[in-house]
Amino acid sequence: MKRFGEILLQTNTPRVNALFVYASNPAASVPNQKKVLRGLARRDLFSVVIEHFLTDTARYADIILPATMQIEHRDLLIAYGHLYIAWNEPAVPPLGECLPTTEIFRRLGRELGLDEPALSDSDETMATQLLDSWHPSLEGITLEKLKIRGWMRLNYPSPFVPFERFFPTASSKLEFVSERMAQAGLDPVAGYTPTHEMSQRDTLLAREYPLVLITPANHYFLNSIFANIPRQQRRAGVPTLLIHPDDAEPRQIAGGDEVRVVNARGSFFAVADVSDCVRPGVVASSKGRWLCDSKQGASVNATVDDRDSDMGGGAVYHDNRVRVDKVE
């Protein structure tokens, strides 16, 4: 996903000729936004988007398929930040031609003539397969019980204290020296690797883009979800940029001024919030805003690089040097 724009634009064989998007809004949430939008705008790219709303990504689609919402379909809700699993039974029938994503996949498989039995599994069958898997946390939890109760606690001790008795390592201990790291060709001793952009001092990049931009979550959105809800938009207010007084003063920036945050990858606009909540040299603006509601159709991801992190292949949303200009 972090190299989404690059993949859409590359001409190497095989070239991406079709795109199928569900449960995602990459136009708003993926790094190197300008590159992503150029890829989505390709005239020879056939795009299908399953959605509830006309998202930034859906605006580029050739076909938009209406998706059911949570109250309209069956679903197994796994634990996220807690120790419970739940069964979601539809409360109302789907409106119009809305379908669950799983049903869209089943129908697509049939139309393509694919005869793999798993492609036609029902939602209840897939839920049962998951609950019958090997993981000890699911022991004793069945779909039948979930349907009766609605939710069940995962099979963990109470209170649950991770690593109380052992760590999931070969030695069962916290390993300051790791043989697995050595076997992977990495330094077996945990250490600090400087960031690619943020750690630079007195380089051409650091002189041209002297501030580091971090992009924390917005209190009123969930990544890019809910960013189109008028009530949440009012609560979130306009896009702001936290900037330390020591950085604002030489740039003649005062609280409430409009600023442009820019680097070689792109730029976005925000309203300055001069505060010592950030340290000198660091600015912050929250993620999650949709481009259709942003000035000149750009958000913080317009400035973020789409390279891989040095370990784990993750994104580098917070290793991002920028310049901040006051808009006259």
Instruction: List pLDDT tens digits, range 151-192.
Output: 999 999 888 888 888 998 988 999 999 998 899 888 899 888
Asked if 213 and 303 sit in the same domain, the reply is yes
C-alpha–C-alpha distance, residues 258 and 239, integer Å: 10
User: Where is the domain boundary, 114, 134, 153?
Assistant: 153
Domain that holds residue 286: 204-326
> Cα separation of 210 and 189, whole Å?
32
Q: What is the pLDDT of residue 312?
A: 83
* The domain boundary residue, chosen from 85, 119, 153: 153
Pick the last residue of a domain from 115, 131, 153: 153
Which residues face 77 on adjacent strands? Answer: 86
Spacing of C-alpha 309 from chain mean position: 15
- Residue 133 and residue 224 in one domain: no
Task: Say yes or no: 131 and 217 in one domain.
Answer: no
Q: Cis omega (within 30 of 0) on the bond before 230?
A: no
> What is the residue type of 176?
F
Contact 322, 211 (CB under 8 A): yes
Judge if 305 and 212 occupy the same domain: yes
Residue 300 belongs to domain with CATH number: 2.40.40.20
Residue 94 gets which letter from DSSP? P
Amino acid at 317: Y
**Within-domain flag for 298:** yes
Asked if 27 and 296 count as a contact pair (C-beta separation under 8 A), the reply is: no
| Statement to judge: residues 218 and 293 lie in one domain | yes
> Half-sphere exposure (CA, 13 Å, Cβ side) for 294?
26
Closest CA to 324 of 279, 275, 265, 268: 268
Give the chain's domain count.
Answer: 2
* pLDDT tens per residue across all 328 residues of the chain: 889 999 999 888 789 999 999 999 999 999 999 999 999 999 999 999 999 999 999 999 999 999 999 999 999 998 788 999 999 999 999 999 999 999 999 999 999 999 999 999 999 999 999 999 889 999 999 999 999 999 999 999 888 888 888 998 988 999 999 998 899 888 899 888 889 999 999 999 999 999 999 999 999 999 999 999 999 999 999 999 999 999 999 999 999 999 999 999 999 999 999 999 999 999 999 999 999 999 999 999 999 999 998 878 889 999 999 999 999 8
Q: Please report where in the chains the tokens 């809004």 appear, as a residue.
A: 25
In a domain, 64, yes or no: no
